[in-house]
Structure formats: structure tokens, C-alpha cells
């Protein structure tokens, strides 16, 4: 028998960030730090595509425009001294919905405390996939509870011509951000999900495009739960849901607009269920997510026990005439 590539049997709870774990956009502390009107900044970002098209541009990467505009603010002196260290520091000011980060441990312990799940080495891992800023997430209150984060990243250093002989650190504590080194948009979020699925994030020697049998993948899609807030997450909802995973949409408590948006996702069969972004113990959302994790764990146990019975077979018995 061929040995499995991975021994673990994790359940992956995968989170969007903005408007899923927090009420708004994570960049709020950044704008407050520099005294910049947040609404004015986003109004400028919303107008950038038209501005470039009016000046002859044809192909525009719409979802990275806000990142380039942050770099413009740095270059023009509107955000002096902005580096990754400051971004991580400002991440500590991000305020989360009720129940976060405690819920991360709640769902993990709900699985680990069940002896039957422990016998089969079933665990819970939390991941964040966001179009926001990775350093701010890593500086936030949830950082100790998540296993990995996919989000946009800046660097203070640019590789110059002849860079092979250039010395220095990529992430400088004293420098200003100068360039994007990694981006996530609403479509490339699905790539991150496949990296979790195949185990690329745990074993970098496995290419995300490599052909791997489903039984050899570290986190089968049916062992995933994806939690997000809106239509921009439809690509991931579709990938996870179509492959047997669980999907859940959240909305800001009291917001009729966000409620209707989440309800439409359910009506269109984009998600399995939806509820308020309240993760406190006993809330509908917390109970649904814990129940889904336990349901996945029970199915893993059942599948493994059935497979064991098939391989081992029944013991011989005396024949009774």
C-alpha cells in the first residue's frame, strides 16, 4: 500500500476578513493614523478606473487600484514613513465582531474535546484569505489563532538592476513601502483555497498546479467551511460548495442591505446558510459553524471506519449447519 502524503486530517475553516470578521474595512486605523478622510480615499479609488480610461488605458486591474493608490499616497508624502512594521502595529487597532477571536478556539476545542475525533487525529485549522493587507491581519487580535494568511503584501525594497550583488533586508523596519510583492483578488482567492486543498502551504515542494489524487490531498474540499460576506466571494463559494464543502454568508447585525445581499446568495444556491456576523457562543452563526465542523468530523470518522472494515474484512466464524 502506498503511504499517504499527509498524516493529518484537518478541517479547514476559511475566512474572508473585511465585513466578515470586522464591520468595515481594515484600513481604517491606517487612515486615522495619518489624518486622512477614509471616505474621500475610497471615493478616489472608485474613480480611478474611469480616470485611467479617459486617458487612454484599456486593460485595468481594478482590484489592485487601491493598493497602488496607497503607494501613491506614500510617494507623494501623504503617508510618510509607512512601512510594514507600522502596518502590523496598526493592525492591533482593528476591532472585530462579537465573539472574535474567542470563537476560533471554541470551534477548535469542540472537535479536539471529542475522544472519537481525537482517535482519528481530526483537528481544526483556521485560514484567512483577504484582498486586504496581510501585515495588518498579522498584527491583529486573530493572528495567534490562524494557521496561515493570504492577503496583499508590500515590500520596502525593490530589486534594482544588478540586484544579485545588492545587500539588505526585504522587509526593513525603517523603510517605506515601495512596491507590491503579492496580491490577492476575488478570483485568485480560489488559488489560495487550492493551496490549502493540496497542502502547498505546508509543503512548498508541492506545486499548486500539480496533479494530485483527491485521496492524497491534505484538506479535501468536503473538509472545508468557507465564511464570507458577499457577491465578491462567489468564486470561492462556488469552488468549495461544488466540491462538497460547507459555505456560509454573514451580514452586519441590523443592516437590511447586507441581510438582503446574504439572502440572495442563499436564494441563488451560492451558500448553504447565512446569519448575523455574531460569533459569540450560542449565536446562530456560532452554532451553525460548530455544528458543521462536527458534522464533517463525524463523516471523516465514518469514512475511515468503513474503509478500515473493507480492508481488514470480517474475522472467520464457525459454520453452523
Asked if residue 174 has pLDDT above 70, the reply is: no
* Cβ contact 88:143 at 8 Å: no
Beta bridge partners of 15: 128, 227
Q: What is the distance of C-alpha 126 from the center of its chain? A: 8
* Cβ contact 76:70 at 8 Å: no
Asked if residue 156 has pLDDT above 60, the reply is: yes
pTM value is 0.90
**Where do we find the cell 488605458?**
57
Asked if residue 165 has pLDDT above 90, the reply is: no
pLDDT digit string (tens) for 266-309?
A: 999 999 999 999 999 999 999 999 999 999 999 999 988 877 66
Nearest to 175 by CA among 47, 304, 90, 87: 87
Q: At 48, is the secondary structure helix, strand, or coil?
A: helix
- More confident of the two residues 215 and 63: 63
Least confident of 123-127, 160-164, 177-181: 160-164
User: Phi and psi (nearest 5°) for 236?
Assistant: -75, -40
**The C-alpha cell that represents 38 in the structure block:** 477614509
Asked if residue 253 has pLDDT above 90, the reply is: yes
Nearest to 41 by CA among 51, 55, 30, 50: 30
| DSSP annotation string for 52-85 | HHHTT-----GGGHHHHHHHHHHHTTSSTT--HH
Contacts of 197 (CB under 8 A, 6+ apart): 217, 218, 219, 220, 221, 224
The CA distance from 150 to 144, in Å, is 15
Beta bridge partners of 149: 128
**The C-alpha cell that represents 44 in the structure block:** 478616489
Q: Return the top range by mean pLDDT from 45-54, 116-125, 154-163.
A: 45-54
CB burial readout 220-229, b (16+ within 10 A) else e = bbbbbbbbbb
* Cβ contact 152:84 at 8 Å: no
The CA distance from 118 to 156, in Å, is 44
From residue 160, give the alpha-carbon distance in Å to each of 164, 169, 176. 9, 13, 16
Asked if residue 222 has pLDDT above 70, the reply is: yes
The CA distance from 84 to 202, in Å, is 24
Domains in the chain with CATH codes? 9-23+95-153+181-312 (3.40.50.1000)
Asked if residue 3 has pLDDT above 50, the reply is: no
pLDDT of residue 203: 75
CB burial readout 259-290, b (16+ within 10 A) else e = bebbeebeeeebbbbbbbbbbeeebebbebbb
pLDDT of residue 321: 47
The CA distance from 265 to 78, in Å, is 39
pLDDT of residue 130: 96
Amino acid at each position: 500500500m502506498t503511504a499517504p502524503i499527509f498524516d493529518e486530517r484537518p478541517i479547514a475553516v476559511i475566512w474572508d476578513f473585511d465585513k466578515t470578521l470586522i464591520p468595515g474595512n481594515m484600513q481604517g486605523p491606517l487612515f486615522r493614523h495619518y489624518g486622512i478622510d477614509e471616505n474621500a480615499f475610497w471615493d478616489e479609488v472608485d474613480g480611478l478606473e474611469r480616470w485611467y480610461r479617459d486617458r487612454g488605458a484599456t486593460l485595468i486591474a481594478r482590484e489592485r487600484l487601491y493598493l497602488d493608490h496607497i503607494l501613491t499616497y506614500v510617494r507623494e508624502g501623504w503617508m510618510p514613513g509607512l512601512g510594514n512594521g507600522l502596518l502590523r502595529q496598526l493592525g492591533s487597532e482593528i476591532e472585530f465582531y462579537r465573539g472574535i477571536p474567542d470563537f476560533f478556539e471554541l470551534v477548535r476545542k469542540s472537535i479536539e474535546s471529542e475522544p472519537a475525533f481525537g482517535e482519528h487525529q481530526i483537528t481544526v485549522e483556521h485560514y484567512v484569505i483577504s484582498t486586504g493587507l496581510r501585515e495588518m491581519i498579522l498584527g491583529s487580535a486573530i493572528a495567534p489563532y490562524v494557521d496561515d494568511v493570504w492577503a496583499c503584501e508590500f515590500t520596502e525594497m525593490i530589486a534594482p538592476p544588478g540586484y544579485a550583488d545588492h545587500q539588505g533586508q526585504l522587509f526593513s523596519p525603517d523603510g517605506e513601502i515601495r512596491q507590491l510583492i503579492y496580491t490577492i483578488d476575488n478570483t485568485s482567492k480560489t488559488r489560495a483555497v487550492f493551496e490549502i486543498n493540496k497542502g502547498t502551504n505546508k509543503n512548498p515542494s508541492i506545486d499548486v498546479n500539480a496533479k494530485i489524487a483527491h485521496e492524497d490531498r491534505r484538506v479535501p474540499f468536503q473538509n472545508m467551511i468557507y465564511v464570507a460576506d458577499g457577491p465578491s466571494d462567489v468564486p470561492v463559494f462556488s469552488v468549495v460548495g461544488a466540491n462538497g464543502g460547507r459555505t456560509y454568508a454573514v451580514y452586519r447585525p441590523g443592516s437590511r442591505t447586507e441581510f438582503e445581499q446574504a439572502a440572495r446568495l442563499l436564494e441563488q444556491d451560492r451558500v448553504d446558510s447565512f446569519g448575523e456576523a455574531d460569533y459569540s457562543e450560542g449565536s446562530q452563526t456560532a452554532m451553525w459553524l460548530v455544528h458543521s465542523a462536527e458534522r464533517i468530523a463525524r463523516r471523516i470518522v465514518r469514512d475511515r471506519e468503513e474503509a478500515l472494515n473493507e480492508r481488514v474484512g470480517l474475522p472467520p466464524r464457525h459454520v453452523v449447519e
